[in-house]
Amino acid sequence: MIAHPSIIFATDDITSLWKTLKDRGVEVTEIESLPYGKMFNFKDNDGNRYLVRG
């Protein structure tokens, strides 16, 4: 089981942020579209996972 990240960031432009992080070499998941919004995960240099919602 993968634990849900304990730190969640919010943005008004999730697509732009996702592209910026990906272009800079950050490991990101694909953007998921859910009934209540969009989200993706990313990892920092230590492998910690974070969630971004938009």
54 burial via Cβ count (<10 Å: 0-12, 13-18, 19+)? middle
- Higher pLDDT, residue 3 or 47: 47
pLDDT digits (tens, 9 = 90+) for 6-33: 899 999 999 999 999 999 999 999 999 9
34, part of any domain: yes
The partner residues of 6 in beta bridges, in order of sequence, read none
Q: Can you give the pTM of this predicted structure? A: 0.85
31, part of any domain: yes
Structurally, the chain folds into a number of domains equal to 1
- CA 16, CA 10: separation in Å to the nearest integer? 13
pLDDT for res 3: 64
43, part of any domain: yes
2, part of any domain: no
CATH code of the domain in which 35 resides:
3.10.180.10
Return all residues near 7 (Cβ < 8 A) that are at least 6 apart: 50, 51
- CA 1, CA 54: separation in Å to the nearest integer? 24
* Domain extent at residue 36: 8-53
46, part of any domain: yes
3, part of any domain: no
